[in-house]
Amino acid sequence: MNKTKIVTIAILSLIAIFGILILFNLFGPEDTESEEEQQQRQRGQSSTVRVTPVSLDTIEKSIIINGEILARNQVTIFPTVGGRLVESRVNIGERVSSGSIVAMVDPSRPGEVYARSPVVSTVSGTVLSAPFSIGDTVTPQSGVFIVGDLSSLLVETFVPERFVSSVTRGMRAVLWFEAIPGERFEAEVTEINPVLDPVTRTLRIRLRFLNTDSRIRAGMFATISLVTNRKTDVPVIHRTSAINTYGSWIVFVVDERNTARRREVTLGIDNEEFIEILEGLSVGEKVVSAGQNFLSDGDSVRIID
């Protein structure tokens, strides 16, 4: 047998083998995987998620701003004449009475000698500030002392222009201080300036404490969470549950077969933890709150606590 015949036989043998394999694939036994085996296979491919039911709750929208603690009745004491401050009879922290003399001003000029003029406190309270020193020149517009009633404190803060329309008297706020870590104090808005500051574009407001504490002192720096909107008995979900897709908000709801279903929702107010649901969900539905970023509509899921 020559070489040409050997090559021809080899080629024909390979063609026959490939033909047998093709016929086997076309007409061979069908895959007889049972429904139970399919379910087991699907469970092995399920995504692990955590779900939280939609519930009725109270939700508050807040802004975080900074403020300063002031004495409620805080008055600046002015001299009646201009001149040189020659005597100060009180120090910061001392109590003064209304009508008492707190300083003396010498209105004398070169070549002219006048009697010293007393500076009289117009209120009773504690001296909070004394910005001038002996020898300084003062005018009738110079506040030589600030006197306040420390038995009653207030909070002063400034609200950015974009939140001004939400501010009303009686609004609640929560305050905390670096000097008093781990504790919260409640206050409410009692005074609203009728105009905005033209330079900072902010609105000055003042709040009163609802629960007083001797550790809070005038001059302290406070962080304020001011509640600008509050709703009660509304459907809410965890903030992390909602996903923004091309301008729309979606969530994934898990049905009784542990299948994730994509649902478009309309949102209301939100805070750091929760979001109000206006449309798209019903109370009690199980919403995926962890693991939703890797889901597609119809995916099988495995719920963990």
What is the per-residue pLDDT across 75-127, written as a single tens digit (0 to 9) for each? 999 999 999 999 999 999 899 999 999 999 999 988 889 999 999 999 998 99
Q: What is the pLDDT of residue 18?
A: 63
37 — pLDDT class (breaks 50, 70, 90): very low
Whether residue 160 is found in the same domain as residue 135: no
Domain end, chosen from 183, 209, 231, is at: 231
**Helix, strand, coil % over all residues of the chain, rounded to 5:** 15, 50, 35
Q: What is the pLDDT of residue 189?
A: 95
Q: What is the pLDDT of residue 24?
A: 59
Whether residue 171 is found in the same domain as residue 131: no
Total-model pTM = 0.57
Number of domains in the chain: 3
55 — pLDDT class (breaks 50, 70, 90): very high
Q: What is the pLDDT of residue 41?
A: 44
Judge whether 176 lies within some domain: yes
Judge whether 36 lies within some domain: no
Write the DSSP symbol of residue 46.
P
How far is the C-alpha of 214 from the C-alpha of 262, rounded, in Å?
Answer: 54
How far is the C-alpha of 238 from the C-alpha of 53, rounded, in Å?
Answer: 9
Residue 182 is part of which domain span?
A: 65-70+153-231
Whether residue 225 is found in the same domain as residue 245: no
Q: In terms of pLDDT, which residue wins out, 146 or 246?
A: 146
Q: What is the pLDDT of residue 12?
A: 67
Whether residue 277 is found in the same domain as residue 253: yes
How far is the C-alpha of 284 from the C-alpha of 152, rounded, in Å?
Answer: 47
Whether residue 181 is found in the same domain as residue 119: no
Domain end, chosen from 209, 231, 253, is at: 231
CATH, residue 268: 2.40.420.20
Is residue 255 over pLDDT 80? yes
From the list 178, 208, 214, 262, the residue with the least C-alpha distance to 73 is 208
Asked whether 107 and 162 are in contact (CB, 8 A), the reply is: no
CA torsion sign for 123, 128, 132, 133 is positive
Burial 228-240 (b: 16+ CB within 10 A, else e): beeeeebbbbbeb
